[in-house]
Amino acid sequence: MQQVFFAFCMILLTVVVYLAMSKLYKRYAYPFLLPILTTTTVIIIILVMLHIPYKNYMVGGQWVTSLLGPAVVALAYPLYKQRRFLMNYLFTIVGGVLIAAISGMVSVGLLAKLLGINHTLILSIIPKSLTTPVAIEVAEGLGGNASMAIFGVMIAGIFGAIIAPTIFKFMKVHSPIGRGIALGSNAHAMGTSKAAEYSELTFSMSSVAMTLCAIIGTFLGPIIVWLFHF
């Protein structure tokens, strides 16, 4: 009984802190106030202050996490809504996303090896350009760690959305399609919200690229790890 009550409290803590931080972000939309960053920080501080280990927190937390599976399945819905769009630009989208997925995974793996990062960490950040729920599964499948995977995904997303406009200018990428694909398949959800600032077409491109990149990435991940001995 006590166990159930404790689990319930942990779920409540997660939801309440999340709602409060989302409200804060709505008022002040700075990238460092993203709800996922602030909520995580606040919850960690509370857990450390109350001497609750992560294992105990997860007694409640796992219930929230269990919704991630259906949430990934739910991504089929936006993809379905944009199926005509996907068919119209099939060659461009698939080609662009494939290049993005390969260059993202290979470059992060090679750089990590060069800098002497340990094996488990490399496997965790290989799927850094996939959307979070998928990145977690891919990282775990490869033998990496889920929390580290999210850490990598967050950095790629936030930083990618910030730096992308400069790269586009420097590399002379002016087409909405090129920009949308680059944003969606490297900086996933954050990149897609950045793409919305450009145009409707860039936004649609980016959201289709994000979902497609997640699908392609799950196939590519194990192949690239095997090819490059990461």
Partner 1 sequence: MKIITISLQIVILYIFSFIGTAIHNFFHLAIPGSIIALLLLFICLCLKIVPVKFIESGAAYLISILMLLFIPTTVGIMNYPSLLSIHGALLVITVLLSTIISIAISGTASQFFEKKAQKRKDDKECNKFSSHSA
Stretch 55-74 residues interacting with partner 1 (CB under 8 A): 57-58, 61-62, 64-65, 67-74
Q: Which of residues 6, 85, 168, 228 is near partner 1 by CB under 8 A?
A: 168
Alpha helices, DSSP H only, in the chain?
2-27, 35-49, 54-65, 68-74, 76-81, 83-88, 90-114, 119-125, 132-142, 146-171, 176-198, 200-228
- Could you say whether residue 227 binds partner 1 (CB under 8 A)? no
Q: Would you say how long the chain is, in residues?
A: 230
Tokens for 29, please give them.
């939309």
DSSP conformation class of 32: G
Pick out residues in 23-42 that bind partner 1 (CB under 8 A). 35-36, 39-40
Q: Which of residues 108, 195, 208, 224 is near partner 1 by CB under 8 A?
A: 108
CB of 2 to partner 1, least distance (A): 20
- Could you say whether residue 208 binds partner 1 (CB under 8 A)? no
Q: Which of residues 4, 12, 44, 50 is near partner 1 by CB under 8 A?
A: 44
Nearer to partner 1, 4 or 73 (CB): 73
Tokens for 100, please give them.
């993005």
Q: Which of residues 7, 123, 137, 194 is near partner 1 by CB under 8 A?
A: 137
Is residue 159 within 8 Å of 166, Cβ to Cβ? no
Pick out residues in 76-95 that bind partner 1 (CB under 8 A). 76-80, 83, 88-89, 91-92, 95
DSSP 115-173: TT--HHHHHHHTTTTS-HHHHHHHHHHHT--HHHHHHHHHHHHHHHHHHHHHHHHHHT-
Nearer to partner 1, 2 or 118 (CB): 118
- Could you say whether residue 202 binds partner 1 (CB under 8 A)? no
DSSP conformation class of 106: H
Tell me which residue has tokens 């979902």: 211
CB of 158 to partner 1, least distance (A): 10
Nearer to partner 1, 2 or 215 (CB): 215
- Could you say whether residue 15 binds partner 1 (CB under 8 A)? yes
Query: Using CA atoms, how far apart are residues 221 and 168, in angstroms rounded to an integer?
Result: 26
Tell me which residue has tokens 């001497």: 51
CB-based contacts of 137, cutoff 8 Å, min separation 6: 72, 218
Q: Which of residues 20, 33, 85, 178 is near partner 1 by CB under 8 A?
A: 178
1-9, 195-203, 210-218 -> range binding partner 1 (CB under 8 A): 210-218
